Structure 1
Amino acid sequence: MTVSRVDADRLTALLAPLADLLADTVESGASVGFLAPLGRAEALAWWRARSAAVAAGHLAVWVAHEGERVTGTVSLALPDKPNSRHRAELVKLMVGREARGLGLGRRLLTTAEEAAAAAGLTLLHLDTETGSPAEHLYRSAGWTRAGTIPDYAADPHGELRPTTLYFKRIGTPATAG
């Protein structure tokens, strides 16, 4: 299995398997911002819209794949404000059901963290559904819980759920001068 960062053209070439991964993730109950059932057209449109952000350098996307078969993905949303260029938000860490429990989530997380550090970022943050399996992954990977917000987002079935915020320092912060 290969994990590679994709540019806008490669993202476009992988729209169909990425859409299938997103639909599978939502169908399996993971809270990634969508309600079930997620139609294929909606999943395709969502990924298609990400391509402009990738091309502009505001979103970095990694895809785990075997040929054209996509098994996972993770992204970093990069702020464009001068006072926040030291950090990024980890978003849309997804692993297909057939690949869960094999260490792929950890591999994708590590890939994004290492790339962020190599790019000079020093702080990452994320939010995840409180009590979700993802929380164990983040805690075991050294992420620090910052707090919980009640009724923050609806899960795929429409039930409001709390969200826990996490952060991780990945380098030495630069001093503002």
Structure 2
Amino acid sequence: MSSHFTVERVAHLSSNILEDLAHILHACVENGASVSFMLPFSPARAQGFWQAMAGEVANGNRIFLVARDEDGRVVGTVHAILNLPENQPHRADVAKLLVHPAARKGGIGAALMRELVKSCAAAGKTLLVLDTVTGGAAERLYAREGWTECGKIPGFALMPDGELCGTTVFYKTI
């Protein structure tokens, strides 16, 4: 895949976007990403996950970004969860930074995160929080992008193959 891409915010998950997102999620899980799903993981389950989220995006409860390659295909995504408890109106939880395995190492993940920070700031958020697999590439990405590590939790989740993995928690004040 090309290293030329654009990042955009979407307010509606169209059928074309849903299809691309399902393809990305399926490929990421099949390649070992610990992003809530276990193997075997079907493309239909990936499609169902994104379809279930479409309402959250449409009603403004999530800031949803995609990265598109020069052919217009979605090759990466990230979103921020905005609908948190009433005593946390200043913050958002970052979720599902995913870049298709064939499109990695081209700056897409970093560009998505930078744009998400800008979008969250524009929405009045001043604190972002996320967690990621300890020792993974995303952990290094967040550190490079200026996120502050605040702890590690061993055995927090399972990898898609069932192996326990730790998680590292990060925050960013904006």
TM-score normalised to structure 2 length: 0.92
> For 1:29-40, what aligned pairs fall within 5 Å after superposition?
29-40=32-43
Name the residue aligned to 2:47. 44
Q: CA deviation at 1:27?
A: 1.2
> For 1:122-133, what aligned pairs fall within 5 Å after superposition?
122-133=126-137
Q: Partners in 2 of 1:2 and 1:107 — Cα distance?
A: 9
Runs of at least 5 residues in structure 2 that lack an aligned partner in the other structure: none
Structure 2 counterpart of 1:52, one-letter code: G
Partner deviation per Cα, 1:50-101 (whole Å, 9 max, x = no partner): 0111122211211111344211000001134221110001100011112111
- 2:133 and 2:166 in contact (8 A); partners too: yes
Structure 1 counterpart of 2:22, one-letter code: A
Structure 1 window deviating more from structure 2 (121-130 vs 32-41): it is 32-41
- The percent identity for this pair of structures is 44
Structure 1 counterpart of 2:109, one-letter code: G
Structure 1 window deviating more from structure 2 (35-44 vs 77-86): it is 77-86
Structure 2 counterpart of 1:17, one-letter code: D
Partner deviation per Cα, 1:87-138 (whole Å, 9 max, x = no partner): 0011000111121111111000001011111111100000101111111000
Q: CA deviation at 1:167?
A: 0.4
Name the residue aligned to 1:18. 21
Runs of at least 5 residues in structure 1 that lack an aligned partner in the other structure: 171-177
- 1:87 and 1:123 in contact (8 A); partners too: yes
Q: Does residue 1:159 correspond to 2:168, yes or no?
A: no
Q: Partners in 2 of 1:69 and 1:13 — Cα distance?
A: 9
Runs of 4+ in 1 over 6 A off after TM superposition: none
Secondary structure class of the residue paired with 1:26: helix
Structure 2 counterpart of 1:91, one-letter code: A
Q: Partners in 2 of 1:61 and 1:167 — Cα distance?
A: 19
How well do the aligned residues superpose, as a CA RMSD in angstroms? 1.3
Name the residue aligned to 1:59. 62
- 2:63 and 2:119 in contact (8 A); partners too: no
Q: Partners in 2 of 1:152 and 1:100 — Cα distance?
A: 25
Q: Partners in 2 of 1:13 and 1:98 — Cα distance?
A: 19
Name the residue aligned to 1:175. none
- 1:26 and 1:37 in contact (8 A); partners too: no
